[in-house]
Amino acid sequence: MLSRHIQQAPAGLASKRSFFGFFKAKPDANDKGDLTVPVPTEENRFYPWDLSPCADLRTRAASIRARAKCPVTSKPINYACPYSGIPTHHSREAWEKDTAYHATKKYETLRKVNVFEHDIRSGREFPEFDFPNEQDPDRRVNFINWDMFFYTRGFFSMDTEFQRATSTKMLSYPLTIGSVLNQYTPYALEPKGPVTLEGLKSLAALRYTLYPAKRQSTWKERPMRIFILGARAESQLPGPVWKQLTMLHPGVEFEIHFIGPEAYFDRAKNQYLYLNNSKTVERVDSTLSLQFHTEFFHVLHEATDFFPYDPYLDVFFCFHPGFGSPECKEMWAKSIPALLESKCAVFVSSYNDEDLATDYQHLTSTYEKDMDILFKPTENLYGATKWELNDMNPHETFQFNQQIFGFRGKRYHTVHKGDA
């Protein structure tokens, strides 16, 4: 199981770095090494982290050496893999003895981590972030995969894996949401897809709000609310990234609520701030506002801050929550019942199959009588392609939002004849 500290608590410099600011970072001016080649390749983006032209990557290498343990000797890591350029073992001898490391070619994934991290600090131009504006109403967006989405939305042509890595990491959060809610979703009704009958009911209610032109009658409405619980990295995404979600649904007003102790990151102070029972609102434009709440969801729920909930207008997303992980179960013990009480759709992403299975099993075994499954566990077609590294264990690599499932609190409980 992936260590939960990655998304739940600060762990070293990687957790304190601004999610978006590193795209503006450049190599140290006085250091040797040239990352300024405009077209990235594995060759011109590869540097051992100990000798990197980027100071923060040298710091990460030092942090790995100081905090991580060798999987062979259980001693501090003190040797950098020559293939990946990242510290991985206590010594060369331990590195050579690690047959699993070599048999699985783990160094190939670690090398991807290395070159991707150097590329985003290279100072090159990032045309992949020249986002398109409103969708042409005569052109239908195709959600079947990243490539078709980029093409039909009019994005810059993603010709290299580096461009895909940076763009999909940024867009994975809004597009995970958009691909589930949109009327042209790539996820079909079971048995051909993961959507259950109850899931179809919940999605139909949300799409009634998202497509006002198709309504049979008019009604007075408030903005559609998207609640993101346990928010951290996603709350640091700039407004233009979240705007890509709203551009898929012109004419609909959205509020995105980021909820959790690490939901608000102050870039000026370079730290997470507690908002003292208040919220901060960032208005992107007339159709989108980003709202930050630094309490746990159950605290806000018990204070009735979001009442009343409406399954036509409210939906929840939890990215990598760790519902079933030993480190996080207690944190979610009060918030999960609150989610079920809302009777609104909840969608959950995870890093991999094992991570998803842990969360899904915990929910279904603990709350089976109180919940309906809306969306069976499946691959998230809008998972990020960029590889990430757990600095506490450099043998753990992961990608954001690889799997997804959905649930909702039961709207009614079954009454058996013998109980009537």
- pLDDT of 31 higher than 60: no
Interval 258-282 mean pLDDT: 91
Kindly report, residue by residue over 124-170, the tens digit of the pLDDT. Answer: 999 999 999 988 888 899 999 999 999 999 999 998 999 999 999 99
In the predicted model, what is the mean pLDDT of the chain?
90
| Residue 218 confidence class, pLDDT cut points 50, 70, 90 | low
pLDDT reading at 10 higher than 90 = no
More confident residue, 19 or 368: 368
According to the model, what pLDDT value does residue 34 have?
62
Q: What is the mean pLDDT of residues 169-177?
A: 97
Q: What is the 3-state secondary structure (H, E, C) of 315-381?
A: EEEEECCCCCCCCCHHHHCCHHHHHHHHCCCEEEEECCHHHHHHHHHHHHHHCHHHEEEEEEEEECC
Q: Which of 43, 160, 33 is nearest to 111 (CA)?
A: 43
Whether residue 143 contacts residue 174, with contact meaning beta carbons closer than 8 Å, is answered with no
Type of residue numbered 333:
A
Q: What is the mean pLDDT of residues 318-331?
A: 95
Q: Where residue 263 falls among pLDDT bands split at 50, 70, 90?
A: very high
Report the side by side order of strands in the sheet with 224-229: 279-285, 288-293, 254-259, 224-229, 314-319, 346-350, 403-409, 371-379
Q: How confident is the model at residue 217 (pLDDT cuts 50, 70, 90)?
A: low
* Element housing 15 (H / E): helix 13-16
Q: What is the pLDDT of residue 27?
A: 53
Q: Please state the pTM of the whole predicted model.
A: 0.90
SS3 398: strand
> What's the rounded Cα separation, in Å, for the pair 372 and 390?
34
Query: 354-409, pLDDT tens digit by residue?
Result: 999 999 999 999 999 999 999 999 999 999 999 999 999 999 999 999 999 999 99
Q: In whole angstroms, what is the distance from residue 111 CA to residue 379 CA?
A: 25
Which pLDDT belongs to residue 1? 59
Give the residue with greater pLDDT, 279 vs 32: 279
What counts of helices (H) and strands (E) characterise the chain? 14, 14
Reply yes or no on whether the pLDDT at 320 is more than 90.
yes
Backbone angles phi, psi at 349, to 5 degrees: -110, 165
What confidence tier does 5 reach under pLDDT thresholds 50, 70, 90? Answer: very low
Residue 12 has pLDDT above 80, yes or no: no
Q: Token digits for 36?
A: 């300024």
CA distance 52 to 58: 6
Report percent pLDDT > 70 for the chain. Answer: 88
**In the predicted model, what is the mean pLDDT of residues 73-101?**
98
Is the pLDDT at 35 greater than 90? The verdict is: no
Phi, psi for residue 69 in degrees, rounded to 5: -115, 145
Just give the CATH number of 135-409. 3.40.50
| Per-residue pLDDT at 419 | 54
Ramachandran category for residue 175: left, alpha or beta (phi over 0 → left; psi -120 to 50 → alpha): alpha
Q: Where along the chain do its domains lie?
A: 26-120, 135-409
Strand partners, 348: 318, 405
pLDDT, mean of residues 337-352: 97
